[in-house]
Amino acid sequence: MAQQVRGVIAPGKDQPVRVETIVVPDPRPGEAVVRVQACGVCHTDLHYKQGGISDDFPFLLGHEAAGVVESVGEGVTDVAPGDFVILNWRAVCGHCRACLRGRPWYCFDTHNAEQKMTLLDGTELSPALGIGAFAEKTLVAAGQCTKVDPSVSPQVAGLLGCGVMAGIGAAINTGNVGRGDTVAVIGCGGVGDAAIAGSRLAGAARIIAVDIDDRKLEKARAMGATHTVNSRGTDPVEAIRELTGGFGADVVIEAVGRPETYKQAFYARDLAGTVVLVGVPTPEMKLELPLLDVFGRGGALKSSWYGDCLPSRDFPMLIDLHLQGRLDLGAFVTETIALDEVEKAFERMHEGDVLRSVVVF
């Protein structure tokens, strides 16, 4: 029997979001229905609402979520009703070229539920990132559910499902930050702060936070930055070089997604260092660099998609580290809100004092 629950939809381009009744079908083979306990508000949800991702309105928003599996379709064995899970948007297929080469974090054929959730009149919903978790219950592919230690609080756990994982993974998976490295992080929102926390976890010797907002820099320090640079008044490339013995950082993580900050990252690293782009640019942005500098400075210019994470490997490990007190995921939760406050949370995103608003059910 399909169920009716409340969920937040984006009805059309730039229209305010609203709470509607959502019809959630019973899971078929390969699918699971999850009772959502918490779901963070991410910039990507706002981009969906603004029409910046696709025109497949109406969207069922929300994708940084944790909850309890309620039912599974026939043949599903990896998760069972009652399991506490974090939802992911990288349910790897195991069969594509990337998976077969042993690089499943690049999987080209990730799974989502095949059935559609709908409105009461039958209108099909497009779930954000194949999840749609600003809803009391949601239908996903079983592989999108990653079991973690249930003693963690859901509002903290859900954050690993997207932005915080992207930032931590940019440092530890894509950037390969290791013990003793110098790291600079440009842009200290939720993603940049997570890159800072990940760098600390990996044993970086020096972590330089760069932002144009002093409030962000203060928070970055709490997350593990050893030095801060406000690039509104100071040249960040010079400042990072000065703080690294004149060399530049081993790894520079760009967590804004703009050509000018990418250039800063490019020049702020040491020779043969690594640049990681985790900020997401818009289609019209262009980058111009002297090709000789690209050659002459060597090293690696990488992009990090979802922190190059493998949910089955990374989520349980990071939750365990959090439960041991070695990774403060709670610091990313600025406020908890109700389902009908998502629109307000979008407005607060621009004020700059929120890392994450989290809807709790």
Does position 163 interact with ligand APR (CB under 6 A)? The reply is yes
| CA-only gyration radius of the chain, Å | 20
What one-character-per-residue DSSP string does 184-228 give? EEE--SHHHHHHHHHHHHTT-SEEEEEES-HHHHHHHHHHT-SEE
CB of 142 to ligand APR, least distance (A): 26
- Cβ neighbors of 85 (< 8 A, separation 6 or more) are 34, 66, 67, 68, 69, 79, 145, 146, 147, 148
CB of 226 to Zn ion, least distance (A): 28
> Which option in ligand APR, Zn ion, none does residue 107 bind, with CB closer than 5 to 8 A by kind?
Zn ion
Q: For Zn ion, what does the binding mask look like between residues 164 and 203, x meaning CB under 5 A? A: ----------------------------------------
CB of 234 to ligand APR, least distance (A): 11
The only residue of 8, 24, 38, 99 in contact with Zn ion, by rule CB under 5 A: 99
Between 27 and 311, whose beta carbon lies closer to ligand APR?
A: 311
Number of C-alpha atoms within 13 angstroms, CB side, residue 128? 33
CB of 25 to ligand APR, least distance (A): 31
242, two tokens:
């000065």
CB of 289 to Zn ion, least distance (A): 29
Does position 278 interact with ligand APR (CB under 6 A)? The reply is yes
Q: For ligand APR, what does the binding mask look like between residues 187 and 226, x meaning CB under 6 A? A: xxxxxx-----------------xxxx--x----------
> Which option in ligand APR, Zn ion, none does residue 68 bind, with CB closer than 5 to 8 A by kind?
none
Does position 88 interact with Zn ion (CB under 5 A)? The reply is no
Between 26 and 260, whose beta carbon lies closer to ligand APR?
A: 260
137, two tokens:
């219950």
Cβ count within 10 A of residue 176: 15
Of the listed pieces 25-33, 35-43, 119-127, 228-236, which binds Zn ion according to CB under 5 A? 35-43
SS3 229: strand
The two beta strands, 126-127 and 59-60, are parallel
> Which option in ligand APR, Zn ion, none does residue 99 bind, with CB closer than 5 to 8 A by kind?
Zn ion
Q: Alpha-carbon distance 136 to 7, whole Å? A: 7
> Which option in ligand APR, Zn ion, none does residue 259 bind, with CB closer than 5 to 8 A by kind?
none
> Which option in ligand APR, Zn ion, none does residue 257 bind, with CB closer than 5 to 8 A by kind?
ligand APR
Does position 257 interact with ligand APR (CB under 6 A)? The reply is yes
Would you say 157 and 148 are in contact if contact means Cβ atoms under 8 Å apart?
yes
Cα dihedral value 218, 222, 223, 226, nearest 10: 80
Of the candidates 116, 129, 105, the residue with the CA atom closest to the CA atom of residue 43:
129
How many residues bind ligand APR, per CB under 6 A?
A: 23
Cβ count within 10 A of residue 68: 17
Q: Alpha-carbon distance 229 to 7, whole Å? A: 41
Positions touching ligand APR (CB under 6 A) are: 43, 163, 166, 186-192, 210-213, 216, 231, 255-257, 261, 278-280
Chain positions contacting Zn ion, by CB under 5 A? 42, 44, 93, 96, 99, 107, 109, 162
